[in-house]
Amino acid sequence: MSIFSRRRKDDNKSRDRPASQGVRVTPLTLWNAMINARSREELKGSEAIYSAVSRIANTLACMPVHLYKDYKIVQGDRREQLLGYAPNPDLTPFQLVMAAEACRLTVGSAYLLAVPDDNGTEIERLDVLDPARVQVLRNSETRELWYKITLDDSQVVTVHGSYMVALHHMSTDGVTGISPIEVLGGTLKYDCQIQEVSLEQLKGVGDSIILTYPTNFSEEAQLRHVERFKKVYNASGRHVIILDGGVTADTIKNSVVDPKVLDVDNITKRKVAAVYNMPPRMLGDAASSGYSTSEQDIQEFLKLTMLPIVRQWEEILKRKLLTYEEIVAGYTIRFDMDALKRGDTAAMADKHSKAVRGAKMTPNEARREDGLPDLPNGDELLVARDMIPLRVVVEHPELLLTGKLEGDE
């Protein structure tokens, strides 16, 4: 059974969407087929994995995504409304990206279903599907991809690949993703065993007491003395010790946590960081950082971790939501990575200062990014006098002093 039956097009229009015919799935049914507790259960296995997934998913979700034409946001387009305002009645853009990334970073794949309207002319909503209920199929004749979805009522439906936004953590065929959780299976199992040993050690933590008896103490007298010692010692809150003549007591200090347990914890963080391609310092392992400041670690995180993820999202969204003709006409979909600088006042000030002085931004454009109102005459590009061409300085130095050429009145 097909949610959207595909009508064949000629070769020049192979990317046109199939007509919206046949069996339709209501938004409520689609919602019931969305993410279940599987991904949440995966994240309970390790604090390091939860930290990595949370940091990457939230960082990506903080980047606004918009539809642009000639570098300007396309207002009024339905696709811009889905990307920048409400992908569906239940989720915000932040929640949609965060949920999809949580699936991609745990299961290895994430799927967004682009549901068309009743006329099949434009996308009505974007829904996050549970990866466990999605199966990838390939037509043996046309080589086109189809996706089989199992709903809550066990009904199986199929969707053509042109309606599915598929994202993968890592893939050997570009169609199915490799689960990071499975890659880290041995590490997580070993870490869990070490934690169990550590918990057992905590049960016996405390100072041990050694009682030394004279040689003339019989075994029976020793047992009576031990029982008396334990009774008085426990009754006093482990403070008072009563010793008979000739008996001495010594203590052995026990460490609360074995230092080797901490080493294992750091090793786990490093392995998790390696699988998720992020600096270990971002997971709390500061000792493994090769940089002197945290800002350098953040820059490495943005360049090596986030940039490839952003590139994947942008390309698949353009592939599914735009036609080639629209891309040639100047349409594009882009995540605004500069939005991450909003929390860094110094970085934003430096960016705006250089952009305004370099005639890349007008003063009002910079003020808008800071949440400030426009100023009169603030929509003009400015240029610094110390950045004019050297030829002008050499040939007409009077311009720097008077602003006029020699001989002008």
Taking the C-alpha atoms of residue 353 and residue 337, their distance in angstroms, rounded to an integer, is 18
pLDDT over threshold 80, residue 403: no
Taking the C-alpha atoms of residue 380 and residue 364, their distance in angstroms, rounded to an integer, is 9
pLDDT over threshold 80, residue 10: no
Burial class for 207, CB neighbours closer than 10 Å (0-12, 13-18, 19+) = exposed
More confident residue, 196 or 171: 171
Residues listed for the chain: 409
pLDDT over threshold 80, residue 228: no
Quick one: pLDDT at residue 212?
A: 74
pLDDT over threshold 70, residue 42: no
Q: Which residues pair with 270 in a beta bridge?
A: none
Quick one: pLDDT at residue 88?
A: 92
143 vs 111, 138, 146, 164, 178, CA distance in Å? Answer: 20, 6, 10, 16, 22
- The listed range with the strongest mean pLDDT (36-45, 288-297, 298-307) is 298-307
At 142-158, the pLDDT tens digits run 889 999 998 878 888 89
pLDDT over threshold 90, residue 87: yes
- What's the rounded mean pLDDT across residues 91-107? 93
23 pLDDT band, cuts 50/70/90, is very low
- Residue 83, C-beta contacts closer than 8 angstroms, at least 6 positions apart: 65, 66, 67, 93, 317, 333
SS3 track for the chain:
CECCCCCCCCHHHCCCCCCCCCCCCCHHHHHHCCCCCHHHHHHCCCHHHHHHHHHHHHHHHCCCEEEEECCEECCCCHHHHHHHCCCCCCCCHHHHHHHHHHHHHHCCEEEEEEEECCCCCCEEEEEEECHHHEEEEECCCCCCEEEEEECCCCCEEEEEHHHEEEEECCCCCCCCCCCHHHHCHHHHHHHHHHHHHHHHHHHCCCCEEEEECCCCCCHHHHHHHHHHHHHHHHHCCCCCCCCCCCCEEEEECCCCCCHHHHHHHHHHHHHHHHHCCCCHHHHCCHHHCCCCCHHHHHHHHHHHHHHHHHHHHHHHHHHHHCCHHHHHCCEEEEECHHHHHHHCHHHHHHHHHHHHHCCCCCHHHHHHHCCCCCCCCCCCCCCCHHHCCHHHHHHCCHHHHHCCCCCCC
- What's the rounded mean pLDDT across residues 218-223? 77
Taking the C-alpha atoms of residue 69 and residue 334, their distance in angstroms, rounded to an integer, is 11
Quick one: pLDDT at residue 372?
A: 86
pLDDT over threshold 80, residue 16: no
- What's the rounded mean pLDDT across residues 209-224? 73
CA angle 34–156–133, rounded 5-degree value: 35
At 260-295, the pLDDT tens digits run 656 777 788 888 899 999 988 888 876 666 666 677
pLDDT over threshold 60, residue 39: no
For the chain, percent of residues with pLDDT exceeding 90 = 30
- Can you read off the two tokens belonging to residue 48? 């390091």
- Out of 250-264, 299-313, 349-363, least confident range: 250-264
For the chain, percent of residues with pLDDT exceeding 70 = 68
Taking the C-alpha atoms of residue 73 and residue 332, their distance in angstroms, rounded to an integer, is 10
Fill in the amino acid letter for 295.
E
pLDDT over threshold 50, residue 52: yes
Q: Are strands 65-69 and 134-138 parallel, antiparallel or unpaired?
A: unpaired
Quick one: pLDDT at residue 342?
A: 74
pLDDT over threshold 70, residue 201: no
323 pLDDT band, cuts 50/70/90, is very high
pLDDT over threshold 50, residue 50: yes
Fill in the amino acid letter for 53.
V
Quick one: pLDDT at residue 15?
A: 44
- Out of 50-64, 114-128, 336-350, least confident range: 336-350
Quick one: pLDDT at residue 352?
A: 86
pLDDT over threshold 80, residue 28: no
Tell me the average pLDDT of the chain.
78
pLDDT over threshold 60, residue 47: yes
Domain ranges of the chain: 1-177+276-343, 206-254, 344-409
383 vs 86, 343, 348, 397, CA distance in Å? Answer: 39, 28, 19, 17
Quick one: pLDDT at residue 152?
A: 77
With a threshold of 0.85, does the pTM exceed it? no
Q: How many other CB atoms are found less than 10 A from the CB of residue 29? A: 14
Quick one: pLDDT at residue 390?
A: 58
- Out of 23-37, 116-130, 220-234, least confident range: 23-37
Quick one: pLDDT at residue 78?
A: 93
Quick one: pLDDT at residue 335?
A: 95
- Can you read off the two tokens belonging to residue 29? 């049914």
Quick one: pLDDT at residue 6?
A: 42
Taking the C-alpha atoms of residue 281 and residue 177, their distance in angstroms, rounded to an integer, is 26
